[in-house]
């Protein structure tokens, strides 16, 4: 994500679209965690020939397979497809509108600049602001927003579900996640340095 005095105003301007995308993203992540529960029913049913629900044995027959496995899975798939479409339209659509607003604002400002300004400042630097820099802002609003919230939502839901199942296994599974987070931090810093160097090359 990206923040700044001239950028934060667009979070408020397109708050409804971003909130819609965030809710759709939450729904998709929640439904994705329902799929392993259905797999659990299938595996237990194939191994035992029945499913235990509320202390009652339910036969794992064709009726159960259709009503409790196939139909819910189809519903989850359709809901995930719709949710993914919705958050892409909402979040990426807002990012595109932010880029359009900034481009129009910058172009109007460029029209008001004097001829002496263009003689002093490099035209190439100004062009990079309208192309490379605005594309970067659009990516930060779109992919940056999604990649910031999606891991938080998905990890929070997954860890909560894991903790309810087994405390010890949850703690053990978080150890490699910590190592992965540390590695991602190091790689992210190196990528940021390379990105800063690339931006300086445009100046």
pLDDT tens-digit series, residues 83-104: 999 999 999 999 899 888 888 8
- pLDDT score at 139: 84
Average pLDDT of span 95-114:
85
**pLDDT for the residue 203:** 58
Mean pLDDT of 157-181: 89
Instruction: Give the pLDDT of residue 141.
Output: 83
CB 94, CB 138: distance < 8 Å = no
Any residues with CB less than 8 A from the CB of 142 and at least 6 apart, and which?
Answer: 91, 92, 94, 95, 96
**pLDDT value for 2:** 64
- Convert the pLDDT of each residue in 26-53 to its tens digit: 999 999 999 998 888 888 888 888 888 7
- What pLDDT does residue 4 have? 67
| pLDDT level of residue 3 (50, 70, 90 thresholds) | low
- Mean per-residue pLDDT, 140-162: 89
Residue whose token pair is 């978080």: 174
Q: Which residues make Cβ contacts (< 8 Å) with residue 58, sequence separation at least 6?
A: 50, 51, 52, 64
Classify residue 202 by its DSSP letter. Answer: T
DSSP state of 121: S
* Mean residue pLDDT across the chain: 85
Confidence at residue 199, expressed as pLDDT on a 0 to 100 scale: 65
Q: What percent of the chain has pLDDT over 90?
A: 28
Q: 14, 141 in Cβ contact below 8 A? A: no
Q: What is the pLDDT of residues 116-149, one digit of tens each?
A: 877 777 777 777 777 777 787 888 888 888 888 9
């Amino acid at each position: 994500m990206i923040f700044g005095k001239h950028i934060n105003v667009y979070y408020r301007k397109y708050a409804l679209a971003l909130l819609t995308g965030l809710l759709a993203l939450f729904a998709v992540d929640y439904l994705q965690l329902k799929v392993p529960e259905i797999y659990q029913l299938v595996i237990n049913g194939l191994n035992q020939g029945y499913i235990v629900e509320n202390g009652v044995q339910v036969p794992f027959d064709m009726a159960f397979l259709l009503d409790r496995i196939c139909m819910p899975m189809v519903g989850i798939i359709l809901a995930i497809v719709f949710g993914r479409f919705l958050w892409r339209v909402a979040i990426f659509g807002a990012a595109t509108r932010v880029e359009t607003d900034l481009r129009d604002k910058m172009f109007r400002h460029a029209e008001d600049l004097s001829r002496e300004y263009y003689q002093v400042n490099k035209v190439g630097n100004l062009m990079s602001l309208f192309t490379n820099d605005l594309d970067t802002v659009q990516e930060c609003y779109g992919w940056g927003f999604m990649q910031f919230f999606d891991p938080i939502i998905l990890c929070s839901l997954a860890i909560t579900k894991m903790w309810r199942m087994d405390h010890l296994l949850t703690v053990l599974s978080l150890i490699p996640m910590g190592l992965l987070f540390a590695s991602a931090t190091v790689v992210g810093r190196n990528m940021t340095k390379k990105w800063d160097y690339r931006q300086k090359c445009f100046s």
